[in-house]
Amino acid sequence: MTTYLELKAKAEKMLADAEELRVKEVAAVIAEIKEKISQFGISAKDLGFPTSSGYVKKSSAAPATPSVAKFVGPNGEHWSGMGRQPQWIKDAIASGKTKEDFAV
């Protein structure tokens, strides 16, 4: 009868063998890809990869619109109510005021 430890050792050996085979297969695939890139003169830009000037810009469905200020602080600070609370509103809430006290 096979013991737990024997099965565990077999499983670990199989995993190591599988990883070794994966590494060899990946190397072969990379070599093939490099050959095709060279053969057809394909660039990183053609593939949509980052270029030296940064990432290739993808067009968006709609341009971003700036958020409208919903709260104004005592010194004219603005906050849209989205994202983290700014320190001035945290301080005001700690001193007993509410966000609605600063609503536009």
Which pLDDT score, from 0 to 100, does residue 59 have? Answer: 65
- % of the chain with per-residue pLDDT over 90: 43
Tens-digit pLDDT profile for residues 24-44: 999 999 999 999 999 999 988
Rounded Cα distance between 37 and 43, Å, is 7
Tokens coding 16: 């190591």
Tokens coding 66: 């700036």
Q: What is the DSSP letter of 55?
A: S
Location of structure tokens 């700036």: 66
> Tens place of pLDDT for every residue, the chain, 104 residues?
889 999 999 999 999 999 999 999 999 999 999 999 999 999 888 888 887 665 556 666 666 777 788 888 888 888 888 888 899 889 988 999 888 888 88
**CB neighbours (10 Å) of residue 52?**
6
Tokens coding 58: 């993808």
Which pLDDT score, from 0 to 100, does residue 54 have? Answer: 57
**CB neighbours (10 Å) of residue 69?**
14
Rounded Cα distance between 70 and 61, Å, is 26
Location of structure tokens 């737990």: 4
For 25, phi and psi rounded to 5 degrees? -65, -40
Which pLDDT score, from 0 to 100, does residue 32 have? Answer: 96
